[in-house]
Amino acid sequence: MKYWIIIASLLIGATLTAQITITTASIPEIGDELKYTTFADYQDTKSYRASGEDMTWFFDNFVGVASNTESYFDISGNALADTFPEANMLLEFGGFESAAVRTDSSISLIGVIVNDFTGLGVEANVNLEEGFKLRQAPFNFGDKIEDAFTVVLGIDATVIPGLDSLDLGFPGAELDSIRVTTDISKTEEATGWGTVNILGNSIDALQIRQNDITTTTIELGILLFGNRLWLNAADVLGSMVDDFGGNQSSTTYKYMSADNKRSIVEFNENTVVTDTLGNTMLVINGRTSAELLTNTEELSIDNRKLTYYPNPATDYLYVTTNLISAEDELYLYNVQGQQVLSVQSSSDTNRLDIQHLQSGTYTLHYRTLKETIAKKIVIIR
């Protein structure tokens, strides 16, 4: 009998520390709109890099700056269905649209729809030679996805005013086109599992580290004696194309729960050149599931129970109380310590109009005759 007790104890212990598996229920479906709150310049520790088994991650101190949405549509009723006949899904996120194939266990991009290129008004439908795997499930600790694709765009030189009349230094040479080649590759690897504690919420999660590399090459198509030659634009135009060509890389740490279609939180690292000497700094931005930063918090002050929401806020901030006193006052201060709003607490629900305030971090003060409580509030536009 004691052996069965030992075995049962081992099984229970294994269950309590079981690794997290991202299931097929996490694959977005047609009709889904996944809402996120983005944050900028994350100043907390880089503990999100810590990886391994049975981990605990603590995240706080977010400054929300905006919202974004990933939308998934049925492409069959879209005019682009003829361009991408294999696609059964249309994705809109990150400022672009993509045609995709969704199966029971994955989503793969098969076409990129370019609505605008660097503000030049260029539109194109780019068919990928092979599907680029965007999501895959089930996904377990140690699993890895590696994928890449290339997009080639041809642009008429007349799109950029004056460029077609550029002196190329060759008698009879004429610039008639531009070719932009972008190579995009990524690696996603599940590097840790455990519990994410974010703004007081504890959620079992799988940590996924994603590395992205984008290489962009711009070439000039030059007609010379009836033949087209392709020259690297950097060799001809120098610094004029510095903002467009070259290599870019970023690392993103994502935390996924078993069945949720959104990441709990993502941290994106980018190295930014800060001066002409080539000095750099690490900038950390990211996003969370919208509800986590748009939460309701309860406080206690002078025998009162207070609730304020949402946080981040956009147009209005609500502060409720179970006790009303004519002496109670609400104040809002900016990061410079300047008072930007003052309201007399006149009801059990106080609505603060913040439409005139800029995005940023503020401090909300609730003041009674006996004490004052202060909390950080984020306003986003």
The pLDDT, as a whole number, for residue 13 is: 44
Predicted confidence at residue 121, as pLDDT, reads 59
- pLDDT for residue 170: 66
Percent over 90 (pLDDT), the chain: 37
Q: Return the ∠ at Cα 126 (arms to 125 and 127), rounded to 5°.
A: 120
Q: Cβ(219)–Cβ(234) under 8 Å?
A: no
> Whole-angstrom Cα distance, residue 209 to residue 145?
11
Task: Tell me: do 273 and 312 sit in the same domain.
Answer: no
Please list the ranges in the chain whose pLDDT falls under 70.
Answer: 1-17, 63-65, 95, 115-123, 159-170, 200, 236-246, 273-276, 293-299, 324, 346-348, 381
Instruction: Please tell me the predicted confidence (pLDDT) of residue 251.
Output: 96
Total tally of structural domains belonging to the chain:
2
Q: Which two tokens stand for residue 40?
A: 């900028």
Q: Which two tokens stand for residue 314?
A: 């956009």
Q: What is the predicted pLDDT for the residue at 224?
A: 81
| 180-198 b/e (C-beta count within 10 Å ≥ 16 → b) | bebebbbebbbbbbbebeb
**Domain with 336 in it:** 296-379
58 & 108 share domain: yes
61 and 140 both lie in a single domain: yes
287 and 309 within one domain = no
- Is 279 in the same domain as 306? no
Distance of CA 5 to the CA centre of its chain: 48
CATH number at 366 reads: 2.60.40.3080
Decide if 347 contacts 357 (C-beta within 8 A): no
Q: Does one domain contain both 287 and 178?
A: yes
23 with 86, same domain: the answer is: yes
pLDDT at 49: 96
Name the pTM for this structure.
0.70
User: Residue 268's pLDDT is what?
Assistant: 95
Among residues 258, 291, 324, which one ends one of the domains?
291
